[in-house]
Amino acid sequence: MNVLFLDFDGVLNTVDHNPVLPPPPFRPEPMSLDWLAYQLNPVLCNRVTRIAEQSGAALVLSTTWRNRFPLPRLATLMGSLGMPMPAGSTPLLPGGSREMEIKHWLQQASPMRWCVLDDDELHIDHLVQTNDHISVSDEDVERCLQILRSNS
């Protein structure tokens, strides 16, 4: 099994992202699925989908969004943007860093190949760090695919 650990902010959107919401009365309610969908860039979502499809990787959410929204809601959001359903998420460990949460998940599941796609500077192997002003680029996609095809 291949796994792609996925962050949202700085990967599926940029720090400069300022979504253009429709005018009232068509504006979605804050925190609704429609509102959340405006927070993510469909082009960037397609790039992550390409990684999953071309590598056969399951998506495991390591994003902080999992602290605020239940996995089924995030899965619905991802599906509405044409992304594969996540296979799960990393655990929320008390006082745990993202690295600790990913390592804990890896110890439990032991995937064959894995990659971490995140804008943060994490101290973990197989990291593809995005530029949070650009987010996931075509070059990042290729680096992820290379990792998912070669590491063990």
pLDDT at 54: 97
Residues 131-141 pLDDT 10s: 989 999 999 99
Work out the average pLDDT over 40-67.
Answer: 96
Full domain range(s) for residue 46: 2-150
85 or 96, which is more confident? 85
Q: Which of 15, 59, 16, 22 is nearest to 37 (CA)?
A: 22
Banded pLDDT at 20 (limits 50, 70, 90): low
Q: At residue 58, does pLDDT exceed 70?
A: yes
CATH number at residue 35: 3.40.50
Q: At residue 71, does pLDDT exceed 90?
A: yes
Total structural domains within the chain: 1
Q: At residue 152, does pLDDT exceed 70?
A: no
pTM over 0.85: yes
Q: From CA 21, how far away is CA 118, in angstroms rounded?
A: 26
Q: At residue 28, does pLDDT exceed 70?
A: no
Question: Is there a contact between 45 and 14 (Cβ–Cβ < 8 Å)?
Answer: no
Residue reference for tokens 């239940």: 70
Question: Which pair of structure tokens corresponds to residue 78?
Answer: 């991802």
Q: From CA 75, how far away is CA 83, in angstroms rounded?
A: 9
